[in-house]
């Protein structure tokens, strides 16, 4: 495998917006964002890629499911698709997504289907 | 101010191969804004990771999409192998690379056919799909399957390519290359075809970067990103140059994909020449415990595979970020200012795969 950086960096959820803006200014693009449940907590992963160095840096946020997260869509417009998905499938409480599909990105009849039973 | 109307487009439309819906805000015949909505074929495949054995998930990953099937299995296996520190045998890496490039070829031919159909050239559409059949025949010969062929497993592959099969692949490549050369002038030089593609749906390099676009769609706008340069599989052993264009229009997207077919032919030939002897798969013991982000270059662009495992046979999370998901924002941008008549072509030129996108 070629040498390149692929690391996960744990950050406080308050720092997400600032660190994402910093990555954008450095020329990175948001490669993906996703959620996972682990140990009763929500794990959010925002991966930023640099296409020149092939570096992939993933910001990891571990939060309670009630915690409010600010949307990145104002600074990274296409983040809205990822955020709508996280909100709809995992119930992540993301505020001010633009556009907010209001849980209609996927036309499913189950509310937050990826939340483990009992959570 | 001109009167604005909203015209619904899709999810079922004669020119759309995939179920995506767009609300098109138009002034006269010009698109002012496009608002996408998906979700018609969400199957919740990722959630099966919590219910199925991690080995069974290879088959689920392969069924995320028909056309990108091999790549999805490949990417998922790479992620699990990365967690388990499995050293895949060199022969398996080369075999994976050969089948992946054959998949890219048949995907690009499928797209070329759909594009030809989209601009009303049915004869060209049939030619492209006829040539594609030769690639599918070789996939059937070497794996037993034509589109979803399930040869990946954690640790390597389940099928081999014999010397006789290698000869058949080589002969197919020669034949396909010859026939592709015959149809390239129609796509690239024919006046009526160029009139539908040139200068249509321009996406600048800055826009492609700002909107996080991926794959041939981004490379046609001058973004020099191709995940094969990461060196997974056997790519680090092969001579490879990223194909780009700086025009950013539909013509450039067509040009990039055609040149990528020629490149795939070259990569397969290189891999066949260098195919090492050895085992097909490494022994895998225990269950994965840890997490990994892996990126590969699917025919439609960068795909991201995230696997989080807890030491049990079931995974905490398996996530696939497909290239079409990344290209939706770019698609909406190219539609702004476009003629209503070009909407179908513009959607086609991102090579959308909504089945992948919704999983």
Question: What SS3 class is residue B319?
Answer: strand
DSSP-derived secondary structure for B158-199: S----HHHHHHHHHHHHHHHHHHHHHHHHHHH-HHHHHHHTT
What mean pLDDT is predicted for residues B173-183? 96
CB atoms inside a 10 Å sphere around CB B181: 10
Q: Which CATH superfamily is domain A6-95 in?
A: NADH:ubiquinone oxidoreductase Nqo5 subunit (3.30.460.80)
**A43-49 mean pLDDT:** 93
ipTM of the complex: 0.87
Query: What pLDDT score does A1 carry?
Result: 45
Q: Is residue B11 part of a domain?
A: no
User: Residue B255: its pLDDT value, please?
Assistant: 95
* Greatest alpha-carbon span in chain B: 70
Nearest by CB: B329 against A32, A58, A78: A78
Distance CA B287, CA B58 (A): 14
Contact residues on chain A for B225, CB-CB shorter than 8 A: 51
Alpha-carbon gap, residue B336 to B101, rounded angstroms: 34
- Residue B228 forms contact with A (CB below 8 Å): no
Q: Which range is most confident: A1-15, B251-265, B340-354?
A: B251-265
Structure tokens at B226: 């191709």
User: If you average pLDDT over every residue of chain A, what do you get?
Assistant: 87
Length in residues, chain A: 119
Phi-psi region of B32 (alpha: psi -120 to 50; beta: other; left: phi over 0): alpha
* d(C-alpha B219, C-alpha B213), whole Å: 9
Does residue B86 sit within a domain?
yes
pLDDT of residue A45: 93
Residue B160 lies in a domain: yes
- Residues with Cβ within 8 Å of B328's Cβ and at least 6 positions away in sequence, in order, are A78, A81, B36, B38, B357
CB contact under 8 A, B230 and A54: yes
Q: Flag if A116 and B50 touch (Cβ within 8 Å).
A: yes
The reply to whether B133 falls in a domain is: yes
**Residues A68-117: tens digit of each pLDDT:** 999 999 899 889 889 998 998 888 999 888 888 887 778 778 888 787 77
Helix (H, G, I), strand (E, B) or coil at B110: helix
Give yes or no for a contact between A60 and A10, defined as CB atoms under 8 angstroms apart.
yes
Whether the per-residue pLDDT at B201 is higher than 90: the answer is no
Q: Are B99 and B73 in contact (CB under 8 A)?
A: no
Quote the pLDDT of residue B168: 96
Domain-located, residue B7: no
Residues of B in contact with A101 (CB under 8 A): 37
Q: How far is CA A1 from CA A5, B42, B82, in A?
A: 11, 34, 11
For residues B32-39, give the mean pLDDT. 84
The model's confidence at residue B1, banded by pLDDT at 50, 70 and 90, is low
* Paired residues of B339 in beta bridges: B30
Kindly state whether B35 is in contact with chain A, defined as any CB-CB distance less than 8 angstroms.
Answer: yes
Mean pLDDT of B125-143: 95
Q: Is B212 a domain residue? A: yes
Q: Whole-prediction pTM value?
A: 0.90
Does a structural domain hold residue B297?
yes
Q: What is the pLDDT of residues B184-200, one digit of tens each?
A: 999 999 999 999 999 98
| Residue of A27, A36, A105 with shortest CB distance to B308 | A36
Question: Do residues B209 and A29 make contact, with C-beta atoms less than 8 angstroms apart?
Answer: yes
Name the β-bridge partners of B297.
Answer: B302
Residue B306 has pLDDT above 70, yes or no: yes
Q: Name which of A8, A105, A114 is nearest B39 (Cβ-Cβ).
A: A105
Domain count, chain B: 1
Residues of chain A contacting B328 with CB distance shorter than 8 Å: 78, 81
Residue B290, domain CATH: 1.10.645.10
Q: Is residue B21 part of a domain?
A: no
Distance of residue B322 Cα from the nearest chain A Cα, in angstroms: 9
Integer Cα distance of B314 and B318 in angstroms: 10
Cross-chain residue pair A78–B229, CB shorter than 8 Å? no
**pLDDT on residue B66:** 80
Where in chain A are the domains?
A: 6-95
Phi, psi of B18 (to 5 degrees): -135, 150
Its sign, for the CA torsion B342, B344, B347, B351, is negative
pLDDT at B120: 85
B247-260, pLDDT tens digit by residue? 999 999 999 999 99
- Could you tell me if B84 and B54 are in contact, meaning their C-beta atoms sit under 8 angstroms apart? no
The whole domain housing B83 covers: 46-326+341-358
**Angle of CA points A74, B245, A22, to nearest 5°:** 30
Token pair listed for A15: 């720092």
Between CA B175 and CA B311 the distance in angstroms is 48
């Amino acid at each position: 495998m070629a040498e390149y950086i692929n690391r996960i960096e744990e950050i406080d959820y308050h720092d997400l917006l600032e660190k994402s803006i910093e990555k954008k200014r450095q020329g990175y693009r948001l490669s993906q964002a996703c959620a996972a449940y682990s140990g009763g907590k929500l794990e959010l992963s925002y991966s930023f890629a640099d296409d020149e160095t092939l570096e992939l840096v993933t910001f990891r946020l571990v939060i309670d499911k009630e915690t409010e997260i600010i949307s990145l869509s104002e600074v990274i417009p296409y983040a809205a698709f990822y955020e709508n998905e996280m909100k709809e499938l995992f119930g992540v409480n993301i505020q001010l997504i633009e556009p907010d599909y209001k849980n209609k990105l996927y036309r499913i009849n189950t509310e937050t289907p990826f939340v483990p039973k009992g959570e | 101010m001109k009167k604005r109307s909203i015209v619904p487009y899709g999810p079922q439309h004669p020119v759309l191969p995939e179920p995506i819906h767009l609300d098109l805000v138009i002034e006269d015949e010009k698109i002012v804004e496009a608002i996408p909505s998906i979700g018609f074929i969400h199957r919740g495949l990722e959630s099966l990771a919590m219910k199925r054995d991690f080995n069974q998930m290879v088959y689920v990953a392969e069924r995320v999409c028909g056309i990108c099937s091999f790549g999805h299995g490949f990417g998922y296996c790479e992620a699990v192998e990365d967690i388990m520190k499995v050293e895949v045998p060199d022969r398996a890496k080369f075999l994976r690379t050969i089948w992946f490039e054959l998949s890219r070829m048949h995907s690009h031919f499928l797209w070329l056919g759909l594009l030809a159909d989209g601009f009303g050239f049915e004869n060209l559409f049939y030619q492209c799909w006829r040539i594609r059949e030769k690639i599918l025949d070789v996939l059937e010969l070497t794996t037993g399957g034509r589109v979803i062929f399930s040869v990946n497993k954690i640790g390597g592959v389940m099928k081999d390519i014999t010397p006789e099969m290698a000869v058949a692949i080589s002969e197919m490549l020669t034949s396909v290359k010859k026939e592709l050369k015959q149809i390239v002038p129609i796509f690239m030089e024919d006046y009526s075809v160029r009139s539908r593609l040139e200068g249509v749906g321009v996406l600048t390099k800055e826009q492609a970067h700002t909107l996080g676009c991926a794959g041939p769609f981004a490379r046609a706008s001058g973004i020099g990103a191709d995940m094969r340069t990461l060196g997974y599989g056997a790519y680090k052993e092969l001579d490879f140059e990223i194909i780009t264009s700086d025009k950013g229009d539909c013509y450039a997207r067509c040009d990039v994909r055609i040149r990528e077919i020629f490149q795939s032919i070259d990569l397969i030939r290189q891999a066949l020449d260098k195919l090492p002897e050895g085992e097909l798969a490494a022994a895998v013991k225990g269950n994965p415990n840890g997490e990994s982000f892996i990126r590969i270059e699917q025919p439609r662009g960068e795909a991201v595979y995230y696997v989080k495992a807890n030491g049990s046979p079931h995974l905490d999370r398996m996530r696939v970020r497909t290239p079409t998901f990344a290209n939706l924002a770019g698609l909406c941008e190219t539609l702004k200012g476009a003629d209503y008549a070009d909407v179908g072509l513009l959607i086609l030129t991102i090579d959308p795969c909504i089945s992948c996108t919704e999983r």
